[in-house]
Amino acid sequence: MPTIIMKRGKRRYISQIMVNGVKKSKLFPDTSKASKQAAMQWELETRKRLERESIATRCLSIIVWINEYLDEVKARYSQKTYEEKRKAFSRFIDHSGYSMETPVDEIKRDAVRAFLRHISTTISGHAANKARKNLGAAWRWGERNIEDWPHMPNLFLTSERFKVEKNVRYVPPETDFWKVYAICERQDQVMLLAFFHLGARRTELFNLKWSGVDFVREQVYLQTRKRDGGLEGDWIPMTKQLCRDLTAWLKERQKMAGLDQEHVFVCLSQTAFCDDYYGKPFQKRQHFMEKLCKKAGVRPFGFHSIRHMFASRLWRKNVSLGHIQQLLRHQSPRTTERYLKSLGLETVRKSLQMTFNPSGDDEFPPN
């Protein structure tokens, strides 16, 4: 209860409380009824806050779990991945009824299911499955890395996935690819060929450095953040055609001044919009493929569709699932199998030597 003291020659109310060894106090202006009521309200609110903080200190709270996991994600993965996982946590706090101070062991299965159903209803089943995957991965990480993690099932991954209609991913005909290739400038031709002959992701090629191109062994070093270990890389063999084109492109680049000399592909556009980016490695190249496809008169496809085309080509040549997994740089063969099914393809048949045509010769674009 508030008490009255004399402070600097004036009688005033003071409130003092202690919760689990934590002491707080506050002075109020005078001994009026309003000051007494304000002091009593302060004691009530402060006591509740300290009790919540005390619980969070003794038990692993959601906020501790979130902060530790997102710190790890930020250090290991791309900004896009970090934002995706941060958004999943934000939606969970907003719609689950739990606060940041809630202990992890107080999360209930019914609340998790209700949250996922809410996301499925208000956004989509796909968004609910993505939230389930991201929060389930965060739970697994907590089990492996946080001391005193509660001994209970992974409440997210043990919840059933939502059924969604999956569209078959578009794989452009190779004739369309070569039509786009034919109208490109020289650097873009080399880049598109690299996408096709390496099955590379966009960021892998945008971040490719000359130090990661081994012309002697005919291989390139592609790095990705799509794995649990964070930024990791693999040496991928080049076709002879790609090796020749990269060699020729390097010679052309050496004659150009004012460019980033470290990266293989850089912005060469000198339009007003690109002034700030000239000579620097690409970030996104938004609308680039859309404009090229329109100019070539083909159905629009993007950089990742070329990766689909690469996988489709390997499947048609009877390359083994293991080899396709290695070339696509998937951690698990299950990922590769799902990837192929999403292209409308069956699981590949027996392993044959990887080649771009039956004779084993390198393939060149049609005249």
pLDDT of residue 367: 52
What whole-number distance in Å separates Cα of residue 348 and Cα of residue 28? 77
Pair 54, 131 in one domain: no
* Same domain (yes/no): 18, 119: no
Query: Does one domain contain both 135 and 214?
Result: no
Q: What is the DSSP code string of 177-233?
A: HHHHHHTS-HHHHHHHHHHHHHT--HHHHHT-BGGGEETTTTEEEEEEEEETTEEEE
Residues 231 and 188 in one domain: yes
Is pLDDT of 155 > 80? yes
Mean pLDDT of 3-24: 85
Tell me if 216 is assigned to some domain: yes
- Please provide residue 170's backbone torsions phi and psi, each rounded to the nearest 5 degrees: -75, 125
Burial class (CB in 10 A: 0-12, 13-18, 19+), 39: buried
Query: Is residue 166 situated within a structural domain?
Result: no
Higher pLDDT, 363 or 340: 340
**pLDDT grade for 351, boundaries at 50, 70 and 90:** very low
Q: Is 367 within the bounds of a domain?
A: no
Same domain, 51 and 83: no
For residues 347 and 19, the model is more confident at 19
Question: What's the total number of domains in the chain?
Answer: 3
- Select the highest-mean-pLDDT range: 267-271, 277-281, 293-297: 293-297
Looking at the DSSP bridge assignments, the partners of residue 61 are 103
pLDDT digits (tens, 9 = 90+) for 19-62: 777 788 998 889 999 999 999 999 999 988 877 766 555 578 99
Asked if the model's pLDDT at residue 354 lies above 80, the reply is: no
Give the confidence band of 251 by pLDDT, cuts at 50, 70, 90.
very high
Last residue of a domain, one of 145, 163, 184: 145
Q: What local confidence, expressed as pLDDT, does residue 218 receive?
A: 94
What local confidence, expressed as pLDDT, does residue 53 receive? Answer: 65
Span 311-335, average pLDDT:
87
* Whether the predicted pLDDT of 360 surpasses 60: no
pLDDT tens digits, residue range 195-220?
Answer: 999 999 999 999 999 999 999 999 99
Query: Which structural domain, as residue segments, surrounds residue 121?
Result: 75-145
pLDDT for 110 equals: 95
Please indicate, yes or no, if residue 33 is contained in any of the structural domains: yes
DSSP characters for 121-136? HHT-HHHHHHHHHHHH
Report, as an integer, the average pLDDT of 75-81.
86
**Residue 91 and residue 19 share a domain:** no
Q: Are residues 50 and 184 in the same domain?
A: no
Q: pLDDT band at 353, cuts 50/70/90?
A: very low
Q: Which two tokens stand for residue 303?
A: 């950089």
One domain for residues 190 and 259: yes
Q: pTM (2 decimals)?
A: 0.62
Q: Using CB atoms within 10 A of its CB, is residue 265 exposed (0-12), middle (13-18) or buried (19+)? A: buried
- One-letter amino acid at 154 equals N
